[in-house]
A and B are shown apart, each in its own frame.
Chain A
Amino acid sequence: MIEVKNIHKSFGDTKVLKGVNLVVKEGQTVALIGSSGSGKSTLLRCINLLEMPDEGTVSIGDFAFDAKGINRKIRQETRRRTAMVFQGFYLFENKTALGNVTEALLVVQKKPKPEAIEIGLACLKKVGMLDKKDHYPTALSGGQKQRVAIARAFALSPKIILFDEPTSALDPELVQEVLNVIKKAAEEKVTMLIVTHEMNFARDVADKIAFMDDGRILETADSKDFFLSPKHEQTKQFLALYGMPTTFRRRFSMI
């Protein structure tokens, strides 16, 4: 289980996170939605310590840290328990697809090479990229890069995979292949926290939706309930912007 408690984060005078609480249970897929600038990505980056939170605690399974006592060792330990999929893919440009997936297995987890390669090939197969294992990132499309990046995250067998808008940088026709891979992972009960603007995907794949607004999580609910009966006015407005079913309901009720 991943538990985030009372996370605060400011950049200079701008308060980006104002006391965020969030629980992701093991095997759960949680979609984090909200308008741009609401702090979704920052929250993700505070969980794997790419940003240092100013206040609050995070526990990942049996490991926990407090924002006050972060040091090099805690950063390392935290990152070893998490994996991240970035909006901009960030595949290691100097490594092949397989090299990207095996790199951390070899140098971080210190697995023997044959084992790392075995895991790497299995993970590439899972995302349908086995035939491109010897390709460098420059020879891959955006969707293919992101699938390799997801394989890289799978390979680490982390407690949680953090997705930071995994499809936002993709051409529309490439979005689905990435979403399908994530959907399959959700069915296999991989624990995931996904920042996304794909509302239909969130509704269909996530177990739970968390809506973020102005540095706080305003509303959390099971995905079905969330879209059908949003509680807060901000949530309703946000969903209306995306033309989600809640607006249809209201239209029908008016007839």
Chain B
Amino acid sequence: MGKIFDVQFMFDSIPSILTGIPKSLAIALFAFTLGIFIGFIGAISKIYRIPVLERITTVYVSFIRGTPLLVQILLIYYGIPIIVRIINQKFGTQFDLSRIPAIVFMFAAFSLNAGAYLTETIRSAIQAVDKGQTEAAYSVGMTPVQAMVRIVIPQALKVGLPNFANFFIGMLKDTSLAFVASVTEIMGQAKIIAGRASRFFEAYIVAAVIYWIICILFEQMMRKLEARLRKSEKGVSS
């Protein structure tokens, strides 16, 4: 002991903190994918004012946006097992959750969270596409689904891409909250390593740098994708 700041420990801890990356990415990617799906359904039910779905979407979005993600995670993590136990008791079923890894609960929590935010992002992206585009698609005989898939969504994607990318980066960083459910993602690993040696600052610096690098890489990927999607703005296809 004695060193106030242990540089050697910091470097030594890198490999084991790196092992948390797959779990962080898994949560973020899974939640983003399912969130896009939920968000699309939510956006469509809001845009087309689908009777019951619209109401459900409004309450769902309001609840998720009005409560902290950390609270949502804990509600799911502690709530689902209790609900399952109640179901087992009521219906005599034998669902056993003890074998389900904690990360699955995180998939659920983060997906629900992403779905709500993406509902609004997707809705605004779709509505940013000129109504004339849809009318033109109808006028040449396309069905509403064809018009949506072939004309509106490709344009909405271009409009919404920066927002989607921002949201993904935000969520990737939020996956650090999964450690409260003892998921060993980047932050969870850092906490474990740090606890063993009581060297918290060193381990958290490593965690911070890892998040930072991942985000930089992702931002660069997005920049390339955006350039590709914007090819129609350059004017001529090659």
A residues with CB within 8 A of B = 48, 50, 75-76, 79-80, 82-84, 86, 88, 90-96, 103-104, 107-109, 134-136, 138-139, 152, 156
Interfacial residues of chain B within 16-46, with CB under 8 A of chain A in the complex: none
B232 to chain A, nearest CB (A): 4
- B236 & A135 in contact (Cβ 8 Å cutoff): yes
A contact residues around B137 at 8 Å (CB): 92
- B142 & A104 in contact (Cβ 8 Å cutoff): yes
Given contacts A79-B140, A135-B236, A138-B232, contact A107 B146 (CB under 8 A): yes
A contact residues around B135 at 8 Å (CB): 50, 86, 90
- 1/0 per residue, CB under 8 A from A, across B135-150: the answer is 1111111110010001
Most chain B beta-carbon contacts within 10 A, residue among A86, A104, A134 = A104
- A156 & B141 in contact (Cβ 8 Å cutoff): yes
14 A-B Cβ contacts within 8 A? A48-B139, A76-B141, A79-B138, A84-B136, A90-B132, A93-B232, A94-B151, A94-B232, A108-B146, A134-B238, A135-B236, A136-B237, A138-B233, A156-B140
B130 touches A (CB below 8 Å): yes
B188 to chain A, nearest CB (A): 42
Given contacts A90-B132, A90-B133, contact A136 B141 (CB under 8 A): no
B195 touches A (CB below 8 Å): no
- B139 & A107 in contact (Cβ 8 Å cutoff): no
SS of B interface (majority): helix
B contact residues around A90 at 8 Å (CB): 130, 132-133, 135-136
A113 to chain B, nearest CB (A): 15
- A94 & B155 in contact (Cβ 8 Å cutoff): yes
Which of under 10, 10 to 19, 20 to 34, or 35 or more describes the interface residues of B?
A: 20 to 34
A contact residues around B138 at 8 Å (CB): 50, 75, 79
Most chain A beta-carbon contacts within 10 A, residue among B130, B133, B141 = B141
A46 to chain B, nearest CB (A): 13
A103 to B137, CA, bound (A): 9
A contact residues around B132 at 8 Å (CB): 86, 88, 90
A138 to B158, CA, bound (A): 14
A contact residues around B140 at 8 Å (CB): 79, 83, 103-104, 108, 152, 156
A110 to B237, CA, bound (A): 24
B152's nearest neighbour on chain A, judged by CB, is A94
A92's nearest neighbour on chain B, judged by CB, is B151
- B237 & A134 in contact (Cβ 8 Å cutoff): yes
B229's nearest neighbour on chain A, judged by CB, is A94
- A107 & B142 in contact (Cβ 8 Å cutoff): yes
A162 to chain B, nearest CB (A): 8
B79 touches A (CB below 8 Å): no
- B235 & A138 in contact (Cβ 8 Å cutoff): yes
A227 to chain B, nearest CB (A): 31
- B237 & A96 in contact (Cβ 8 Å cutoff): yes
A83 to B133, CA, bound (A): 14
A72 to chain B, nearest CB (A): 8
- The residue that B236 contacts in the complex, of A75, A139, A152, with Cβ under 8 A, is A139
A136 to B154, CA, bound (A): 14
A122 to B152, CA, bound (A): 27
B contact residues around A104 at 8 Å (CB): 140-142
A79 to B233, CA, bound (A): 30
A163 to chain B, nearest CB (A): 12
A177 to chain B, nearest CB (A): 19
B contact residues around A50 at 8 Å (CB): 135, 138-139
A10 to chain B, nearest CB (A): 20
B129's nearest neighbour on chain A, judged by CB, is A93
B contact residues around A152 at 8 Å (CB): 140
- B151 & A76 in contact (Cβ 8 Å cutoff): no
A contact residues around B236 at 8 Å (CB): 134-136, 139
A121 to chain B, nearest CB (A): 15
